[in-house]
Amino acid sequence: MRTQKLRALAAVAVFAVSLFATSAAYAAVEAAKASITFDAQSKVFRLDAAGVSYAFGINDRNELQPLYWGARLAASDALPPAHTFPDHASFDLTQTTTPQEFAGWGAGLYVEPALKLTFPDGNRDLVLHYVSHQTTGNALIVSMKDVQRDILVALKYEIDPATGILGRSAVIENRTKDAVVLEQAAAATWTLPSDKNYTLFYLTGRWAGETQLQREAIHEGARVLESRRGSTGHQNNPWFAIERGVGGDEDSGDVWFGALAWSGSWRITVEEDQLERVKVTGGFNPFDFGYTLAAGAQLATPVFYGGYTHEGMGEASRILHRFELTTILPQAPAPKPRPVIYNSWEATEMNVDEPGQVALAEKAASIGVERFVMDDGWFGQRKTDHAGLGDWYVNPDKFPHGLKPLIDKVHGLGMDFGLWVEPEMVNPDSDLYRKHPDWVIHFTGRPRTEGRTQMVLNLARPDVREYVLGFLDKLLSENQIAFLKWDYNRNWSEPGWPAVGNAEQKQLYVKYTQNLYGILAELRAKHPGVEIESCSGGGGRVDLGILHYTDEVWPSDNTDPFDRLSIQNGYTYAYTPGAMMAWVTDSPNWANRRTTSLEYRMLSSMQGGLGIGANLNKWQAEDFATAKRLIAAYKSVRETVQHGSLYRLISPVGGSEQSVTESVSPDKSQAVVFAFLHSSSLLYPYPTIRLRGLDAAAEYRLDWIEGKAAQPVPASASGAFWMSHGVDALLFGDFQAAGFTLTQVSGKGK
């Protein structure tokens, strides 16, 4: 699907070139073209798109060797051919000093391999050499083979014309007569230009404390980012960025970044080798991997996307956001904006029933909510988290006439209807588990660890896949459901699959996730109007793999609006605000008892897809009025917030008292600013907010969504004025927020 989209884009670009031979449009189209070349004489492959060039060559030993990844080079620039590096004494032989695109573990290799395997005769030596290549559209496929045995690897490189983001993956094929065991299988190794001075950025966290931005200087040795949990995990997220120098500059500096499209156990190793070369290898997590590849079988790795910019961390994020919106998300290249939702979870938890949900729906509709989502508790014998998961029938006590009356009511109120499901889990206290105790991931005869009193269904099993797809298909066919919140509330334990032979058991790590993607793809195909959210106890499954099948994600169960600022900030380094849901819930917040105003909570959530998750039964008239006013304001800016260019003007990282974001619409006709103050002290003034990304020559009008200026400002002024002079917002006290828009009143956009 993605390939088709890229091909279609390329076809449009080539067609357009012939139409706009000499105009400015020609330059834009030219920039959006990708090119893939191979110079037969120098044996250099080169991929160019947007501001990026990537090159590798075939060296004198017939290995694939990285040559260049960075700013776009002139088409006429000839890259010097690949050449093997000499031994560094007898301890570091040429096989380990010469960088490789995709190294097999063999010969004298000590750096991180991409592929490591064991043959049945005990041989564990794998040396991959170039065989052939072919180009199709924006993709290049290069075939490699072990120097002796019939283990083949097809490396795929696919470049996005608009962003220069390169997708790299590998298909490993066993053409020998016997099964081999893959102990390590990466998608790609990225090699950075030689430099001693790099800073690594990555995201860590925990349940209710996801996507915290970390930074550290890269030194010799390896930094491992990973999940061993069976799914993406809250602990690390499969994204990295490396900036040349001390880093952290939003607006300038060389940044290389990447994200792995995989929702199972994964690993990214950032390694500075003994010769101070920095490489990043990512793919399946080798921990407990041991994938048996039968004779004649293939294994495709996930895709590892990588990009480059010389315009700092801010532009690195904007490139990723653009790429996700136009290429990754299921509705790419033009995803619909996220509707304003109401979610029942924090209001009712599992105590849902028809009258209670109807009462909430009426109140939600009155403030402008567009989608009403009933969360956990509507099915099976679900009263607490001790029972019900697996039994996907509507609970007759709570909904005696099924879901239809509630759904009809929601539709009558002008909203569409969404429903919570957790398809991959089962409570031991359920009819499903009583009938199929063997359907969960487990080892025969061993204790089965429960988490939240539930176990993980083995989605790798064909019968489980069929069951899950079957009940979801039925649910969507029998009810007018526009949206599924797909939850996943624990990680794996005892990762066994006794129904298959010992040799195949560990295929669970791959087949589970493949089947998850397969179910999502089939559901979407059968029910094309249905949107899906990926939730895993908050942000435990946010990655470019799941985002290919889900329209949005729930970044955290922590709905405290102040904590959310750093969670949302970290999230935006890797993922578009266009897929990030954010709810306004009750104050004091359950997570930390912090008390904040409704205005503060609303503005914090307006930085993504806005949701309301408060108990509306407790709201006063003024709360409804405030929410109604701010939801209306949000609807007039959401396209810009969700699909525009994000500038992190002041980051909340490192205990900053302030935090400011700005989003600019693609045509620069609107900018939206949200500014937050944690607490004033020592009479420090709030910093002047200087905007970015406006059209300097155009005239923009200032309108306040919330708050006001601290110093007099003109009602309208040039983009240059707002970017250089800026705005002083009146913010003092604790947990204060302001928001304003700049709307172009004259200029190119008008």
Q: How far is it, in rounded angstroms, from Cα 650 to Cα 663?
A: 13
Q: Report angle CA 265, 54, 157 to the nearest 5 degrees.
A: 50
Q: Which C-beta is closer to ligand DGJ: that of 272 or that of 375?
A: 375
The three-state secondary structure class of 502 is helix
DSSP state of 578: G
- Least distance CB 167 / ligand DGJ (angstroms): 30
d(CA 393, CA 395): 6
Binding positions for ligand DGJ, rule: CB under 6 A: 345, 375-376, 420, 487, 489, 535, 537-538, 554, 557
Residue environment code for 641-674, b if the CB has 16+ CB neighbours within 10 A, otherwise e: bbbbbbbbbbbbbeeebbbbbbbbbeebbbbbbb
Query: Could you tell me which residues are beta bridge partners of residue 216?
Result: 200
Q: Is 296 exposed, middle or buried (0-12, 13-18, 19+ CB in 10 A)?
A: exposed
Query: How far is it, in rounded angstroms, from Cα 739 to Cα 721?
Result: 18
Residue of minimal Cβ distance to ligand DGJ: 376
C-alpha closest to that of 593 among 558, 542, 547, 565: 558
Name the pairing type of β-strands 552-553 and 531-534.
Answer: parallel
E runs forming strands in 354-435: 371-374, 416-421, 425-426
* Residues β-bridged to residue 241: 201, 257
Please, which residue, 206 or 628, has the CB nearer to ligand DGJ?
206
* Least distance from ligand DGJ to the Cβ atom of residue 492, Å: 17
Burial 149-169 (b: 16+ CB within 10 A, else e): bebbbbbbbbbbbbbbbbbbb
Q: At what angle do helices 462-478 and 508-526 cross, to 10 degrees?
A: 20
Rounded to an integer, what distance in angstroms lies between the CA atom of residue 518 and that of residue 530? 16
CB of 628 to ligand DGJ, least distance (A): 24
The nearer residue to ligand DGJ, 240 or 345, going by C-beta atoms, is 345
Q: Considering only the C-alpha atoms of the chain, give the largest distance between any 2 of them, rounded to a whole number of Å.
A: 80
Any bridge partners for residue 299, and if so which? 172
**Least distance in Å: CB of 611 to ligand DGJ?**
10
Residue 160 is among the residues annotated as catalytic for this protein: no
Contact 6, 158 (CB under 8 A): yes
Q: How far apart are CA 517 and CA 534, in angstroms?
A: 12
487 is catalytic: yes
Query: What is the smallest separation between the CB atom of 737 and ligand DGJ, expressed in angstroms?
Result: 24
Closer Cβ to ligand DGJ, 532 or 535, answer by number = 535
Residue 375 Cβ, how far from ligand DGJ at the closest point, in Å? 5
Least distance CB 71 / ligand DGJ (angstroms): 41
For residues 325 and 535, which CB has a smaller minimum distance to ligand DGJ in the complex?
535
As measured in angstroms, the least distance from the Cβ of 613 to ligand DGJ is: 8
Nearer to ligand DGJ, 253 or 428 (CB): 428
Closer residue to ligand DGJ, CB minimum distance, 92 or 560: 560
- Shortest Å distance, C-beta 12 to ligand DGJ: 40
* Residue number with CB closer to ligand DGJ (202 or 342): 342
Closest to ligand DGJ by CB, 269 vs 489, is 489
The least distance separating ligand DGJ from the CB of residue 484, rounded to whole angstroms, comes to 12
Q: Are strands 483-486 and 531-534 parallel, antiparallel or unpaired?
A: parallel
Catalytic residue among 557, 560, 563, 695: 557
Scan for tokens 């060039």, then name that residue: 53
Which residue type does 157 have? Y
Which residue's CB is nearer to ligand DGJ, number 281 or number 536? 536
CB half-sphere exposure, 303, CA atoms < 13 A: 21
The rounded distance, in Å, linking the Cα atoms of 635 and 341 is: 12
Computed over its alpha carbons, how large is the radius of gyration of the chain? Answer: 27
The residue annotated as part of the active site, out of 376, 487, 543, 695, is 487
Nearest to 613 by CA among 559, 665, 681: 559
In angstroms, the CA 135 to CA 58 distance is 16
Distance CA 404, CA 414 (A): 15
Judge whether 699 and 592 are in contact, CB under 8 Å. no
Task: Please give the positions annotated as active site.
Answer: 487, 557
